[in-house]
Structure 1
């Protein structure tokens, strides 16, 4: 789960503190685990500053805190403050930007050539999939992997994201898919045809940013037509 630390301090020596932080960044290159940091100044109090630091997890934040350089910088920072700074530790329970990035990464992984990459990077173990192509909902990452392999065995394909809209814990992706029919797909022998379709998927994300549920709508009928299924039926 993404973790955020909020550091609240007062100082009349911000320029010195800024140089101190630059020195810490330089000394911890390749070792620090923070992924993003921003410092804001209170508009009503020029001596009041708040720093927000993001980490991949609480464990990574603690590993960062235990660096010898961090401990030394902390004591020097306290000396520059007008009073003892306060620290607030937060587990992130909603991050729409993170959720959108996870959805993009999911489509990238599914379409990656070669061996199917692990999906646990983006998907919860008990992910619940609603797909009109399946008689029953798919629950669990293992079932999702099997479904994805059916498509990967049948096509070399890629996705392009046309729109991505996030609100709350849900992300709606409007996508375009194109592929080459290279192998058997749902009993249809390889045709070598270039095919394409559009679709929309709404994902729900958990507090750790991973996908936990998805609802799919796509032009499967159009895909079957491109593969020549209806031509065979008419003969």
Structure 2
């Protein structure tokens, strides 16, 4: 698989299908996640905990809108569709369907992801759950 295919498969299997047991297939043993919230270790275990935590609060689907790859780096622009199904930051489940956007940047060592950075518009999520903006309920 080329690096683009690895990223697409990683997003689909690990994030969309919540198969955290497959993380080792995609991530280097020396992996660093530069985007985790405070309190989570910035390694594979922290990423696993974050995926499980968000999976308990949201049914989610990440769609890759754009992708650029060069050498050992892949950059994606994403849209996330979320349904708030469990408590999130002291807000009980609302059932709201929320759409937000973001970016992920991956750096590879051979055929494994060694670094990941992400920027997701969490304000959209927080404001929707708090009832201060419109959501895309369907």
Q: Same fold (TM over 0.5)?
A: yes
> CA separation of 1:139/1:126 partners in 2, compared to 1, >3 Å: closer, same or farther?
farther
**Is 1:111 matched up with 2:111?**
no
Question: Is the contact between residue 165 and residue 171 of structure 1 (CA under 8 Å) also seen in structure 2?
Answer: yes
User: Superposition pairs for residues 46-61 of structure 1, below 5 Å?
Assistant: none
Give the greater-gyration-radius structure (CA): 1
For normalisation by structure 1, the TM-score amounts to 0.52
Distance (Å, rounded) in 2 between the aligned partners of 1:116 and 1:215: 18
Match of 2:3 among 88, 96, 99: 99
Number of residue-to-residue matches in the alignment? 132
Question: What do residues 140-185 of structure 1 show as CA deviations (whole Å, max 9, x unaligned)?
Answer: 2111100111111111111111011001111001011001111112
Please name the residue that 1:219 is paired with: 121
Question: Is the contact between residue 40 and residue 50 of structure 2 (CA under 8 Å) also seen in structure 1?
Answer: no
CA RMSD of aligned residues (A): 2.0
Distance (Å, rounded) in 2 between the aligned partners of 1:187 and 1:106: 30
**Is 1:121 matched up with 2:30?**
no
Question: What do residues 92-129 of structure 1 show as CA deviations (whole Å, max 9, x unaligned)?
Answer: xxxxx61111111111121105x644211111123111
Match of 2:56 among 147, 150, 153: 153
Larger RCO (CA within 8 A; separation ≥ 6): 2
Question: Is the contact between residue 106 and residue 114 of structure 2 (CA under 8 Å) also seen in structure 1?
Answer: yes
> CA separation of 1:220/1:126 partners in 2, compared to 1, >3 Å: closer, same or farther?
same
User: Superposition pairs for residues 28-43 of structure 1, below 5 Å?
Assistant: none
Structure 1 unaligned spans of 5+? 1-96
Structure 2 unaligned spans of 5+? 134-138
For normalisation by structure 2, the TM-score amounts to 0.86
Match of 2:109 among 206, 218, 227: 206
User: Superposition pairs for residues 118-197 of structure 1, below 5 Å?
Assistant: 118-131=22-35, 134-135=37-38, 138-197=41-100
SS of residue paired to 2:22: coil
Question: Is the contact between residue 91 and residue 130 of structure 2 (CA under 8 Å) also seen in structure 1?
Answer: no
